[in-house]
Amino acid sequence: MTVYTSGYTSGNYEAFARPRKPAGVDDKTAWFVGAGLASLAGAAFLVRDGQMKGEKITILEEGRLVGGALDGIKEPERGFVIRGGRELEDHYECLWDLFRSIPSLEVADASVLDEFYWLNKDDPNYSLCRVTENRGQDAHTGHMFSLSPKAQKEVTHVFLAPRSEFENKRINEVFSEDFFKSNFWIYWRTMFAFEEWHSALEMKLYLHRFIHHIGGLPTLSALKFTKYNQYESFALPLRKYLLDHGVQFKFSTTVTDVDFDLSDKDGKPHKQATQIHWTVRDDNGTETAGGVDLGPNDLVFMTIGSLTENSDNGDHHTPAKLNEGPAPAWEFWRKIAAKDPSGAFGRPDVFGAHIPETKWEAATATTLDKRIPAYIQKIAKRDPFSGKVVTGGIVTAKDSKWLLSWTVNRQPHFKNQPKDQIVAWIYALFTDVPGDYVKKSIQECTGEEITQEWLYHMGVPEAEIPELAATGAKTVPTMMPYVTAFFMPRQKGDRPDVVPAGATNFAFLGQFAESRSRDCIFTCEYSVRTAMESVYTLLNIERGIPEVFNSTYDIRTLLAAATFLRDGEQVRLPGPDFINRWVLRHLEESTALGGIMVEEGLIPDVRTKKENGVKEENGTKEEAK
């Protein structure tokens, strides 16, 4: 197996370097299973950094659109549909490395990154009402985390303990009821879609990955968003870039299996993909088997698992169905995993065999007049028709039995959206619990009934709810059986390495592949990172992959996070005040760490100051001698 030259790096030296053309690339071809973000990014890295000709790259996709979970579409009868959104931030290093090279479809002579950067500079994100209660009233959390001393110790322990301690453990096995009662948990679980039975390991990885954003949880000020839905803002520019470079797309093509030669050579692992099998579905639904033989120079990049597999859309008058039947993306992974007795291809059933724990339901509501937007404006404290930030991320109804959250991004959310309509996204973490207004679970509800529950939690008078839900919106419910599958408790080896040991011509992509980095899943960044890692490894590209942002090693960030987790309460040592002052002054005047602790607000500034002949210490003044 080849190893990319520079590995993971940080800094401009590697970031700005332009790699030379890899040896033998003109003799190679590339095949991608799936047309999600990971595959699109991988193909782009092959073209840009691997300097492979586009006509030698083929992307095989089961559906008829690119983008995978980066979706956004208007269905003729149902209306607008978005299965989910993506919360973005400054330090998605691989994502922005990719999109700096993808031309914008909106701004002339600009990249997608340029467009995104300017948009968020001019219109920064900030929530004016993150949590509501009592039917649309601001919960007035005061931007506080309300973590008890016990809960603070639990968070600190999870952060500091080794990863191995949390393998195969649930969140509710490492946190107490004190933690689950906190505002921190409300902010955290609804922003990232964590359930109490999800992986404690993923919780730990998230804490490390986003420690620099802890202070922004109550206001979502750390987040950034695209101009439109991610399909139009991200997937379509990538698609055009690839088509312009000659990349081939084969839609309605379901990859069913990949064959491998797993014979060791010279006592070392040797794994080579030898054939791809697929079926092609025509417009009449007839399927024809096909495939391609693979030699040593034919690369195959496989997206395994899927969070959106078997998703089902209802409509305003029809509930979405829970599809627990055959799931091609998961069956594909199961087939290939069974072929390697060493277990190097992962354990798909750790993630894909727990639908009751991995499902939840979302809905896309399109308002049809100005009645519902008036309630949105009352809570968001912004005009939803302004074209600027509206809610600034999700609004959570903390007393909702569904634990319902909703968001309105910049409008229009779709390019072809009428100017007098607003598109909102709604989701519920608790899919099997009857609602507060609608005495059904969200899973049983039509789009109209989901709208009723949403209106109830926005404070619409109960007598007006039925008529307003019936005539003021068109709502599409979406059930996703596997949407949090990657959050199931796991251990090392459950996810295959992006490039398994001994692999010569294949790699695994996406949320269920194990990157060599410290990154966490359920982000656009992770998909792009696995793509970059796979391409750079198999082609031995001589350029470093951007390292995960190092905030978890920055003492300033860690001290600031500690201050936020304590809701600004400064550290006080046991004993009399004069002992506290003496110890803290010694710490602050004798060590650099003490100064940083003062700057980050963790301890009070008790350093002696001499100004204008007056000595000031701890709030008292006396004449300086």
pLDDT at 578: 87
Residue 87: active-site member: yes
Spatial CA neighbour of 154 closest among 204, 195, 193, 191: 204
Looking at the structure, tell me whether residues 338 and 366 fall in a common domain: no
Look at residue 339 and tell me if it is in a domain. yes
The confidence score (pLDDT) of residue 609 equals 56
Element (H, E) at 356: helix 355-358
In this structure, are 233 and 85 located in the same domain?
Answer: yes
Distances (CA, A) of 141 to 128, 218, 398, 454, 564: 11, 8, 11, 21, 14
Q: What is the pLDDT of residue 269?
A: 86
Domain count, the chain: 4
Q: What residues in the chain have per-residue pLDDT under 50?
A: 1-5, 610-625
Residue 267 is predicted with a pLDDT of 79
* pTM to 2 decimal places: 0.94
Q: Is residue 520 part of a domain?
A: yes
User: How many residues are given for the chain?
Assistant: 625
Whether residue 557 is contained in a domain is answered as: no
**What per-residue confidence (pLDDT) applies to 15?**
86
d(CA 387, CA 25): 46
Question: Tell me, what CATH number does 416's domain have?
Answer: 3.30.9.80
Amino acid identity of 577?
A: D
The whole domain housing 152 covers 144-216
Considering the domain architecture, whether residues 236 and 295 belong to the same structural domain is answered as yes
Peptide bond into 269 cis (omega under 30): no
Considering 4, 206, 456, 482, which one is annotated as catalytic? 206
Q: Please compute Rg for the chain using Cα positions.
A: 26
Domain assignment of residue 572, yes or no: no
Identify whether 560 is part of a domain: no
Instruction: Single out the catalytic residue among 87, 232, 453, 525.
Output: 87
Domain co-membership, 349 together with 235: yes
Q: Which of 480, 506, 532 is the last residue of a domain?
A: 480
Q: Are residues 380 and 349 in the same domain?
A: no
Residues 318 and 416 in one domain: no
- pLDDT, tens digit (0-9, with 9 covering 90-100), for 278-320: 999 999 999 999 999 999 999 999 999 999 999 999 999 999 9
| 392-410: b (≥16 Cβ within 10 Å) or e | bbbbbbbbbbbbbbbbbbb
In a domain, 276, yes or no: yes
